[in-house]
Every structure is written in structure tokens, then in C-alpha cells.
Structure 1
């Protein structure tokens, strides 16, 4: 009898909790921008997500870059090396080590990784795409897209960004015209890439226009960080390598990746809140905002 009586009581608790949650959701939808912003940042777990993205990039995407470079023409390897030097401000011993890895022959890479290892590295690199997809879905409060529908999107995103990296050095220099044009081109290309990234990884479930604020915010943050890296990375690398040896390179790059992905997480997450605000929401035809609590 106790168990039978407990079932209706539990059902009443669930209904009461649902009613409270719907009321809180409606209140948050009507809340001022700062309150909605704080709720959104809590919802997307900024530091946790940024750390996971940084770790996955360092452990999977970066090795894939080196593996693929071994099978590319020397011109492409030189372009990747120049992009890393320009974007991260690498110099001296750290730059020499990167160039040595990028210019390894395909036979050396196969010997080091093994054929199976190369395939596993390529497949595991999509883990970065999967974490980024979850960030976009949490930011827009959408259910997770199944792997069957999203698998090709993970690979497409990875290949596009590896391709984009090969020309970053030329973009940053304004294709030889000057720094001013380089800043403008980097800002524009980063906005386009993050606009496309959100639409791709969300499976087209959100129209293009509402995704524009997140792309613009992410592009602006990355442009500032990219130019700041030229001041921070070289000095930090020199100190870390002197103090810790080769491990210093790992510590510095991983720390910087966490900073970069924190900016990306904030840009995409805040972009949702901006796109749902008043007149801008009507202008962008933003879909009705979903609850910020789950």
C-alpha cells in the first residue's frame, strides 16, 4: 500500500516541478539581457567546454595536421609552417621543431605511427568536431544530432579548417599588401568560417541569419587573440622551453588553446542571447528561444 500511495505522490511532485520550471523559463525569457546572459553562460559550462575543446584539438587535430602534411607537396608544408609562424609567432628552436615535423617524409610518418595508427589518428580527430557540435547544440538548446546524420559533418568541418590553416599566413599578411588588409581579411574569413561552422554542426536546424551574431563575436575575439599571440606566445615559449625543455612547448600551446576556445565558447554562447533580443530577433527572424534550463 505504501508503494501504491507513493506513485501518485511522486507524480504530483513531477507535475509541480514541471510547472515551476515552465514558470521560471517564462520569467527568464522576459528577463533583462544581463540575467539571460548569465543563465546562458552557466548553461553551456564555459570553462569545462573550452578545456575539452583545447584538449581534443591538441591530442587529435594537431597530430592529424602533421600526418596529413607528410603526404602533401612541399609547397603546402611550407604554407602550413608559415601559417603557424605567423599565427602563433613561433621562432627559434620551437619553429625549427615544428618545421622538422612538418617536413618529415610519408615513409617516416608511416613508420612512426604505423598504417593503422595513421587511420586511427584521422578518425579520432573528429572528436574535436563532436565536442564543438555539442557546444553549438547547447548554445541553441537543441537536442543532440545522431551520429548517423552528423558523421560526415564532423569530417567536413575538420577538413575545411585544416585547409583554412594552410592559408592563414597569407591572409594575415594581406597577401603581401599590408597588415591593415590582413586584419580585415582575417576578421572577414573567420566570421564566414564560424558562421558556416554553426550551420553545419547544427544540421541546418537554425536559419543562417540568427547565427550571424555568434559568428561576428567569435571572429572579433579570435582576431584580437591572434594578434595578441604574437606578443605572448614567443616570450612564453622561450621561458617554458628554457625551464621545462620540450615539455614547455606543450604547456604553453595547451594553455593558449584553452584561452582561444574560451573565446570561441563565449562567442557562440553569447551570440544566441544577442540573436534573441527584441528588435534584432525580429530582424534576424530568430526562432522562439528555448528554455535556458534543462
Structure 2
């Protein structure tokens, strides 16, 4: 129940932060491959028709750049830092650690900047080429980058209070979970977006996207929990072998 609660919170923050962020990046750098519609189409593995429905439901990068104000950027930055804080709190809960001191808030700024870089690399790799070989290389690159990012994210947001070795199973579980979620999205969410767009319009599309973001949050926090369980079992087996 707590995982689901945190996943819902993750989805809400993502809707307030992630989609506007990738839209603005796509507007500033059109060659990045970002923009909420294209980004969601690639990470969800949507069909061209479903991706078109998502693109219709969100603001285009050109309109976003024209309508963005200084106040809007400030609110987006505030929610972005809150996003990092929520993730840090979740990781601390998983490892039963005390909350980091306030002077560690600079880590959220660094994390948010590298998170944008991670999105740029992942989306570029997913959209690299059309042949099976190119798509396979892009998929492997995305898996490698995801593993490294979530491995580093845990270490960085936990203020280096947990070893790299202990955090590796969680990063691997999160990466594998996201792969499974993408396959599930292509099989379930893609046709669901198409049908909901006809039945409910843009609202139906956003509801499906919100459901996917909830799944991402569940995988991110659940992967960290599974990683700690695997680490504890490995540690306990090692101690039993020595005794």
C-alpha cells in the first residue's frame, strides 16, 4: 500500500514536472527528439496512431516556448526539486536511513540536471535508426544508461551512506522493471490510448498516461525495495557460509 501511495505521488509530480520539462527541452532544441508527444511515444513504445493521439493531447514545443513565463519556469524548477526530494525520501525509507540535512539540497539540483541528460540520451537511443540492428543497439544503450543512472541516483541521493555494491541489485531491478513496463505499454497502453481518445477525447489519453506514470513510480520504488531484499539475502547467506 505504501508503494502504491508513493507511486501515485511520483505520477503526480511527473505530470507537473516531467512532461513540461521535456516539452521545453524539445522547444529549445528541436533536434533532441524531445517534446512530450514524441517522448511518450518512444518510451511507451506506442504505435504511430497512438503517438499522434498523445501529441494532440499535449501542448506542442513551439507553443510551450511562446507561452512560458518567468513565473512558470520558477514553478517548474520548484516542482523539479520537489521531484528529487520525493525520490530521496523514498530511497531513505527503503534503507531505513534518517533524512539528509538541509545542506544536501544542492544534490537535487545536480540530480535534476543529470536527469534531463539521461532523458536526452535515452530518447535518442530509442529513436536511433529503423533497422532491427540499429534498434537493438539503441535498446542496449538505453538499458546500460538506465542501469548507470539509477545506480548513481541511489548513491547520490542517499548522500553516499550506502555502498555501490549494495545498490547495484536495486538499479538492476529498476532497469528490468522499466523494460517490462515498456513491453506491457506497447501491448496494452498503446491500443488503450487509441480507444480512449475516441471515447473520451484528450482527457482519456491523459488518464492512460497518468496510469503509465504510476507504473513507472511503482517500478522505481519497488526496484529499490527488491534490491535491498536481494542484498540482505546475499549478505545473510554469506555470513551463514562463513559460520
Kindly tell me: are residues 174 and 212 of structure 1, through their superposed partners in 2, closer, same or farther at Cα, counting changes over 3 Å?
farther
Q: How many residues align?
A: 233
Q: CA deviation at 1:185?
A: 2.4
User: Structure 1 residue 193 and structure 2 residue 152: aligned?
Assistant: no
Kindly tell me: are residues 248 and 99 of structure 1, through their superposed partners in 2, closer, same or farther at Cα, counting changes over 3 Å?
closer
User: Structure 1 residue 246 and structure 2 residue 202: aligned?
Assistant: yes
One of 72, 95, 98 as aligned partner of 1:143: 98
User: Structure 1 residue 101 and structure 2 residue 60: aligned?
Assistant: yes
Q: CA deviation at 1:174?
A: 5.9
Distance in 1 (CA, whole Å) between partners of 2:225 and 2:21 is 28
| Residue of structure 1 in register with 2:7 after alignment | 50
Kindly tell me: are residues 193 and 280 of structure 1, through their superposed partners in 2, closer, same or farther at Cα, counting changes over 3 Å?
farther
Tell me if the contact between 1:199 and 1:205 (Cα under 8 Å) persists in the aligned partners. Answer: yes
Q: CA deviation at 1:280?
A: 7.3
Distance in 2 (CA, whole Å) between partners of 1:102 and 1:280 is 51
One of 71, 78, 88 as aligned partner of 1:116: 71
One of 85, 97, 109 as aligned partner of 1:130: 85
Distance in 1 (CA, whole Å) between partners of 2:54 and 2:177 is 25
| Residue of structure 2 in register with 1:32 after alignment | none
Q: CA deviation at 1:129?
A: 1.1
Kindly tell me: are residues 128 and 281 of structure 1, through their superposed partners in 2, closer, same or farther at Cα, counting changes over 3 Å?
farther
Q: CA deviation at 1:49?
A: 1.0
User: Structure 1 residue 157 and structure 2 residue 107: aligned?
Assistant: no
Kindly tell me: are residues 52 and 281 of structure 1, through their superposed partners in 2, closer, same or farther at Cα, counting changes over 3 Å?
farther
**SS of alignment partner, residue 60 of structure 2:** helix
| Residue of structure 2 in register with 1:64 after alignment | 21
User: Structure 1 residue 235 and structure 2 residue 194: aligned?
Assistant: no
Q: CA deviation at 1:104?
A: 2.9
TM-score for the superposition, normalised by structure 2: 0.85
Q: Deviations over 1:155-210 (max 9, x none)?
A: 22222222222232332356664333333322222111110110111011111111
Distance in 2 (CA, whole Å) between partners of 1:90 and 1:55 is 25
| Residue of structure 2 in register with 1:38 after alignment | none
- Cα RMSD of the aligned pairs, angstroms, is 2.5
**SS of alignment partner, residue 159 of structure 2:** coil
Tell me if the contact between 1:67 and 1:109 (Cα under 8 Å) persists in the aligned partners. Answer: no
One of 145, 169, 172 as aligned partner of 2:126: 172
Tell me if the contact between 1:84 and 1:90 (Cα under 8 Å) persists in the aligned partners. Answer: no
Tell me if the contact between 1:186 and 1:223 (Cα under 8 Å) persists in the aligned partners. Answer: no
| Residue of structure 2 in register with 1:265 after alignment | 221
Greater shift in the superposed pair: 137-146 or 270-279: 270-279
TM-score for the superposition, normalised by structure 1: 0.71
Tell me if the contact between 1:136 and 1:202 (Cα under 8 Å) persists in the aligned partners. Answer: yes
**SS of alignment partner, residue 190 of structure 2:** helix
Distance in 2 (CA, whole Å) between partners of 1:253 and 1:174 is 23
